[in-house]
Structure formats: structure tokens, C-alpha cells
């Protein structure tokens, strides 16, 4: 998110976390300083292969609570950020019809607080497309994860029906937007009410 009025509205809906993209090439780039810093949600900063100094400076300036990494950051980078006091989410791409990336996620066990499973694309970030959630049955790691990838307003019942012992929540993004980084508050409200 990046627009103050929209952020204030979404903050009132009862979401647990709110994400801000600090990757300059993203159409959802939030800039260097958020126009408004929400207090009722945990603030997640999303980065891609970012210089550690810049990442930490932006985290401090924008009072981020969690760091989400969407690039090719190695396990050691994740561990180093945790040592700086930040919970870390590492995103992994999953593709329907291909094996779940067990060996890759295993390398990050103990280095991250959460994983995020999204549809793999050739670019950094999400695609707005779903992958076959049944692939996650092969994930037997100990790191809790967020389900992502093309979740739409009409998917609340399907998400509620999805079951995995390590799934702790869902990441709602492009399916709930009116334009990049601008959320449709009514669609989010309806989904959150149905989901909970």
C-alpha cells in the first residue's frame, strides 16, 4: 500500500499485517517514506535483493516490524536480519505441475520466521495467478507459511477449506486492488468477514 487515505481505511478492517513494497521497479513501489504509518497493524516491508544498509535505514524510517524478501537472498542474509531484531518472511515460487521446492526451502529452515508460497514468475513479486495448493502437502518443514498467489475475493471458502499444519494466514494483494497499491476496501472487508 502507499496512499494515506486507503491505508487508513484498510487499517480499520482488522487485518493483522500491512505490506509496503520498497522495490523500486515494482508498480507498487511505496517510495522512501510512507505518507502515513499505521499503528493498528504490523508493518511488513517487501524488498528484493536490497543492500542491507538501505534496507535497515528504510525499516527504521518507516517503523517496519517485519521484513519480507522476494529476491535471491541467501539464508545468511535472512539470518543476519533476524539478528538485527526483525522477523523475516522469505518468498518462494511454486509452479503447478512441478515438484514442490523441498531442497530450496530446507536451506532456509532456522533462518526465517515465515515462508510465503506464491506462484513463480520470471519477474520478482507476484503474478496474480494461483498455483495448485495441493503441492503444499509436500511441505513438511517447521517454518510456518503464508499462502499467496492469485487469491481473489470469491476464494474465502476455498481458503478456509485449505488445511496445512504450518499455514498461518493468507496474503491478499492484486485480486483486491483497483489499481497497483490501491485496495478495494469493500472487497477486503467482505473477504475478511467471510474468512474469520
Give the long-range contacts of residues 81-86, CB within 8 A, separation 24 or more: 81/52, 81/55, 82/111, 82/112, 82/113, 84/56, 86/59
Specify the pTM: 0.94
Q: 92 near 70, Cβ under 8 Å?
A: no
Domain count, the chain: 1
The mean pLDDT value for 171-176 works out to 94
User: Is the pLDDT confidence value at 156 over 70?
Assistant: yes
Domain of 40, in residue numbers? 4-195
Can you give the C-alpha Rg of the chain in angstroms?
16
How far is it, in rounded angstroms, from Cα 61 to Cα 67? Answer: 14
Closest CA to 90 of 106, 67, 110: 67
Distances (CA, A) of 132 to 90, 95, 98, 129: 19, 7, 10, 10
User: What grid cell was written down for 187?
Assistant: 472487497
How far is it, in rounded angstroms, from Cα 128 to Cα 136? Answer: 18
CATH of the domain at 78: 3.20.20.70
How far is it, in rounded angstroms, from Cα 51 to Cα 88? Answer: 16
Residue 4's pLDDT is 98
Distances (CA, A) of 133 to 15, 100, 165, 168: 23, 10, 14, 14
- Can you count the helices (H) and strands (E) in the chain? 6, 9
Per-residue pLDDT tens over the stretch 29-58: 999 999 999 999 999 999 999 999 999 999
The mean pLDDT value for 93-104 works out to 92
Percent of the chain with pLDDT over 70: 96
Amino acid at each position: 500500500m502507499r496512499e494515506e487515505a486507503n491505508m487508513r481505511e484498510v487499517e480499520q478492517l482488522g487485518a493483522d499485517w500491512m505490506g509496503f513494497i520498497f522495490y523500486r521497479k515494482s508498480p507498487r513501489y511505496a517510495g522512501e517514506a510512507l505518507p502515513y504509518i499505521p499503528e493498528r497493524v504490523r508493518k511488513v516491508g517487501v524488498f528484493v535483493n536490497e543492500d542491507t544498509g538501505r534496507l535497515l535505514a528504510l525499516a527504521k524510517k518507516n517503523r517496519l516490524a517485519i521484513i519480507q524478501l522476494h529476491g535471491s537472498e541467501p539464508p545468511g542474509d535472512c539470518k543476519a536480519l533476524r539478528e538485527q531484531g526483525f522477523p523475516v518472511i522469505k518468498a518462494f515460487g511454486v509452479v503447478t505441475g512441478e515438484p514442490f521446492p523441498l531442497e530450496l526451502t530446507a536451506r532456509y529452515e532456522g533462518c526465517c520466521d515465515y515462508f510465503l508460497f506464491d506462484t513463480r514468475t520470471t519477474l520478482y513479486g507476484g503474478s496474480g495467478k494461483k498455483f495448485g495448493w495441493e503441492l503444499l502437502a509436500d511441505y513438511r518443514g517447521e517454518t510456518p507459511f503464508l499462502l499467496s498467489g492469485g487469491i481473489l475475493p470469491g476464494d474465502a471458502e476455498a481458503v478456509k477449506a485449505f488445511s496445512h499444519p504450518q499455514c498461518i494466514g493468507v496474503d491478499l494483494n492484486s485480486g483486491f486492488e483497483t489499481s497497483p497499491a490501491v485496495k478495494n476496501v469493500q472487497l477486503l472487508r467482505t473477504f475478511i468477514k467471510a474468512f474469520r
